[in-house]
Amino acid sequence: MNHHVTIQRKFRVLTTAVAALMLGIAGAQSTYAQSGYASPADRQDCRTTAEIFATDNTAIITDPDDPRLENRLTRFAHEVRAIIRTHGARPGASELLDGVFWSAEQKQITYERSREFDVNRVGRDGLHHIAGVIAKRYDQESVLTFRCLPRTSPETDAVEIEVPGVTPGDLRAALLLDAEAREKLGGASATLDGRLILVAPVAELPLARKFTTDLGADWNEARLRYGDREFVS
C-alpha cells in the first residue's frame, strides 16, 4: 500500500471530523443565542446561568440573635425550585445565606435569612417572570436576580463578588463603620461556611473592593462574576 496515499486519506478524515465538530459547536452556540441566554463558552466563570436571591420572611429583624435567623428555609427551598421548574427553567443548587443590610428608613442594621437559587436554561424575560411570581407568592417587596453575562455585554451592569473569610458579624461591624458602603452597597450576605456574597453595581466595584478588604478578606481570593442584576417586585 502507498503510505503517502494512506496518510493523505487519514488527514482528510481528521479534517472532516474537526470541521463537523466546529459546526456542531457553532450550532449549539447559535441555539443558546436564539433562546436568550449565553452559551457556556460565552460566559465567564459562571457555575449557573442565573441566580435568584429570595426569602419568605416579611418581618424586619434587628436582633442578630433572633431565633428566626436559624430557619433553614427547607420548605421554601422546595417550593421555589418547583416554581422555577413550573415556569420552564431548570433549578440547580440552593444555598442558605445570612444577610446583613442597612435600613435607610429605620437608620439601623437589619438581618435576614434567605436562600440563593441557581437557575439554568432561562433568559432575561423568563428570569424576571419567575422572580415576580416568587415576590407575589411570598409577599416580598422585591426579589434580587443576577444573570451571569460576559463582562463586555451591553447588558452587564453589576458584579457578584464571592470571597471566603467573612461572617455576618464581620458584615455588621463593617457596615456600622462605613457610611458610604451602607448608602451605596446597602449590605451583603454570608454563607454558612463563611463566604461573602455581594452583588454590586459595576460602577461601585472600587468601593466594593475596599469594603471587602476592610472586612479582612483577601481580595486575591475573590471570585468576580459580571452580569445583569434586577430587583423584581
Give tens-digit pLDDT for 94-127.
999 999 999 888 889 999 999 999 999 999 999 9
Phi and psi at residue 68, in whole multiples of 5°? -65, -20
Predicted confidence band at 47 (pLDDT cuts at 50, 70, 90)? confident
Taking the C-alpha atoms of residue 170 and residue 150, their distance in angstroms, rounded to an integer, is: 31
Give residues with Cβ within 8 angstroms of 155, minimum separation 6: 124, 147, 149, 228
Using CA atoms, how far residue 181 sits from 29, 73, 164, 184, 211, in Å, is 39, 28, 19, 5, 7
Q: What local confidence, expressed as pLDDT, does residue 106 receive?
A: 85
Separation between Cα atoms, residue 111 and residue 121, nearest integer Å? 32
The DSSP secondary structure of 64-121, one letter per residue, reads TT-GGGG---HHHHHHHHHHHHHTT-EEEEEEEEEEEEEETTTTEEEEEEEEEEEEES
Which three-class secondary structure state does DSSP give residue 17?
Answer: helix
pLDDT at 105: 83
Residue with cell 470571597: 163
For residues 33 and 42, give the distance between their C-alpha atoms in angstroms, rounded to a whole number: 10
Question: What's the pLDDT at 142?
Answer: 96
| pLDDT band (50, 70, 90) for residue 44 | low
Question: Taking residues 26-35, what's their average pLDDT?
Answer: 38
Give the Cα separation of 104 and 32 in Å (integer).
41
pLDDT above 70 for 27: no
Its pTM stands at 0.81
